[in-house]
């Protein structure tokens, strides 16, 4: 799963702001995926690669009431991350996350200050 760490964003027509995703490899080979639509809830997914596939260890989400204009995207992403991601594939400046026929294509977030 090389080259997937970093900051990513997802732009979709249904939402006026892009969803933000940060991926980090922690000690012991655990992967943290943190996702948020600005002004919405923070979602955190802890995963580990077991027998060549990703396994969900823990999912957490804050309990804020998001603005109506982001609620659809936030709900879709919460449903997606809450059961875990099956594959994460880097495709150039894009990152494809998929699970059971559902996939999202994130792009490198070029607005992150280093």
Instruction: Tell me the average confidence (pLDDT) per consecutive run of 10 residues in the chain, 114 residues long.
Output: 88 95 91 95 94 91 94 96 93 94 94 69
- CA 67 to chain CA mean position, Å: 19
Looking at residue 49, its pLDDT comes to: 87
pTM over 0.75: yes
pLDDT at 28: 83
DSSP per residue over 71-107, as a string?
HHHHHHHHHHHHT--SEEEEETTEEEEEETTEEEEEE
Looking at residue 34, what is its pLDDT?
97
- How is residue 84 written in tokens? 């875990």
C-alpha–C-alpha distance, residues 23 and 32, integer Å: 6
The pLDDT value given to residue 113 = 65
Which among 63, 91, 80 has a CA at the least distance from the CA of 19? 80
């Amino acid at each position: 799963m090389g080259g997937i760490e970093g900051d990513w964003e997802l732009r979709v027509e249904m939402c006026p702001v892009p969803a933000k995703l940060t991926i980090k490899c922690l000690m012991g080979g655990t992967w943290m995926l943190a996702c948020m639509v600005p002004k919405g809830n923070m979602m955190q997914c802890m995963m580990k690669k077991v027998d060549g596939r990703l396994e969900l260890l823990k999912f957490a989400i804050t309990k804020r009431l998001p603005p109506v204009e982001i609620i659809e995207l936030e709900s879709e992403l919460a449903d997606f991350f809450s059961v875990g991601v099956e594959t994460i594939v880097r495709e150039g400046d894009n990152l494809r996350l998929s699970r059971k026929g559902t996939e999202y294509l994130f792009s490198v977030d070029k607005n992150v200050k280093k």
